[in-house]
Amino acid sequence: MVFLKKNLWTYLQLLFIFSLTLIVAGYFSTIGVDPHHDGIILKPALDTANGKMLFKESFTQYGALTTLIQSLVLKIFGRYLIVLRLLTVFFYGLVSIFIWLIWSRFLPKLLVTIICIVWILLAPYYHWTFLSWSSVYALFFQMLTAYLFMIYFEKKKMIYLLLAGSFTALTFWSRQPVGIFLLMSIIGFQLLMMFFQKGKTKEIISYVLGFIFVNIIFLIWLIINGAVLDWWRQSIQFALFFGKMNLNIKDVYKNLLAPSYSALSIWTLFPVACIIIAIKTLIKLFNNKQILKKETVILSLCFISLASWLQYYPINCIRHTYWAATPMIGLFTYFVFIYVPKFFLPGKMINFLSRYLILFIVFSILLLPDIAYRIRDGYRKINQSYVYIKQPTVLKNIKLTQPEALFYRNLTETINNYLQLHPKTNIVTTGADALYLTFVNNQENFHSIFINWEIINSSIYPDYLKQLNHYIQTDKPLVIATTDNIKNYCPLKFENRYNNIRILAPCFYYN
């Protein structure tokens, strides 16, 4: 009976944090549109759902898995942005479950539930538009890998290492940098254990075999479809170029020590706590002291978390810091709950009550400013006036402000009116916002790249602009542009008070 009660309490807490994540993230996922970020995720997912080969016929700067999952769900539930948003909400919910499953092994269960609530309250979507970004999917596979790696230490069965390697590969195919950092951190940890504790070579081999096996499956798929070269350019070459853009000590330092709204940045303190825990454990190893199984697992989580920290670079914003810091939030809490009381209290005074009191004080000082900021912005979002629109259909069930709704309605009506007169016309953009290209079903891509993004042109497809200009002059598509300066093209008139774009048509088609 006691066992059943304990399990029931566990299941209730898991159900609570999963449901709370779905409710909170789900609500904010219905608000607003980001034409660049939503477009760069939605467009390849729609293209893939419509039968185009990813990389070869449609661009994605991240791994294939995110787009493949999203395209499958679009096929099942309809080709709408809200479908991708809700799918991402579901993945957020899964992440919350694995935060709880991992840290409930080291901290009181009720405290872990509080950690999950804090994690939900620190999310970026209260302030910025909710995104169906690849980082969320990579985060899920990253947390699942950490969980399986931890279970291996408990059960000592190689199948868990094979699975951990496989899910590391899925992390890579969701978002390449996260997967590479995760792979390096786990192999580095395993080599360290081999050196200090006479670990077994077969442990590394099992993990790496799981990683290789999944990669072979994806590479065979790319080879069969003739997309390897474009995959390399878009997922590897472009990622390397993007990472080198601000590769100097000053920018790396600035990004890794990310600011927040508290006097001492929580995004910096999270990795600092991981470093301190790791150093204390490593000192024991260097002194030839045996560490407990619990300490070994905590050390592995430090390695995984510090590898995740590298995601702060090269773009430091509250989205990327949130996704990167998620594996660290449990370690930070563990540090405050277990280590900090030893710094301030004599041994006799350290008990559960004093630990919770110190944790409450630290969380109030360090986390409350950021949480209050998000609650304030979330409250503003909730109380803003929104409307729904029927056109374009991809934005069905997304709540928009009046100016947004008017802009998207007028833009869609203008495009549709033109296409009724010229139904065989394709649409391209000379800007970086791909969302507008999703307003008409299954448009052709004259190139795998569908946006004009300067860093893409200069790094992987330097001839793209030349091909785009040639295509515009020879095939006469409708052009969504940021300038009127296109030879032989004239602007179509539509009311636009929201965004600085134009719709250009061949002058001899102009009505």
Contact 56/447 with Cβ under 8 angstroms?
no
The strand pairing partners of 504, in sequence order, are 479, 491
Q: 360-411 pLDDT, tens per residue? A: 999 999 999 999 999 999 999 999 999 999 999 999 999 999 999 999 999 9
pLDDT of residue 5: 55
Looking at residue 359, its pLDDT comes to: 94
Residue 157 to residue 209: CA distance in whole angstroms: 15
Instruction: Check residue 1 and give its pLDDT.
Output: 45
Q: Is the pTM of this model over 0.75?
A: yes
pLDDT tens, per residue, the chain with 511 residues? 444 456 888 999 999 999 999 999 999 999 999 999 999 999 999 999 999 999 999 999 988 999 999 999 999 999 999 999 999 999 999 999 999 999 999 999 999 999 999 999 999 999 999 999 999 999 999 999 999 999 999 998 999 999 999 999 999 999 999 999 999 999 999 999 888 876 678 999 999 999 999 999 999 999 999 999 999 999 999 988 887 766 667 777 778 888 887 778 999 999 999 999 999 999 998 887 788 889 999 999 999 999 999 999 888 889 999 999 999 999 999 999 999 988 877 777 788 899 999 999 999 999 999 999 999 999 999 999 999 999 999 999 999 999 999 999 999 999 999 999 999 899 999 999 999 999 998 788 999 999 988 877 778 998 999 999 999 999 999 999 988 889 999 999 887 777 788 999 999 765 5
Q: Are strands 478-481 and 427-429 parallel, antiparallel or unpaired?
A: parallel
Distance CA(315)–CA(504), nearest Å, equals: 33
Nearest of 89, 15, 77, 75 to residue 45 by alpha carbon: 75
What is the spatial distance between Cα 456 and Cα 179, in angstroms, rounded to a whole number? Answer: 22
Neighbours of 108 (CB within 10 A): 14
Burial 462-492 (b: 16+ CB within 10 A, else e): eebeeebeeebeeebbbbbbeeeebeebeeb
User: What is the helix, strand, coil percentage profile of the chain, to 5?
Assistant: 70, 5, 25
Q: Are 321 and 312 in contact (CB under 8 A)?
A: yes
Collapsing DSSP states into helix, strand and coil, what is residue 400?
A: strand
CB 320 within 8 A of CB 311: yes
Interval 192-232: pLDDT, tens: 988 887 667 899 999 999 999 999 999 999 999 999 999 99
**Cα–Cα distance between 366 and 262 in angstroms, integer?**
6
End-to-end CA distance of the chain: give it in Å, rounded.
Answer: 78
Give the rounded distance of the alpha carbon of 448 from its chain centre.
Answer: 23
Q: 289 phi and psi, to 5 degrees?
A: -95, 140
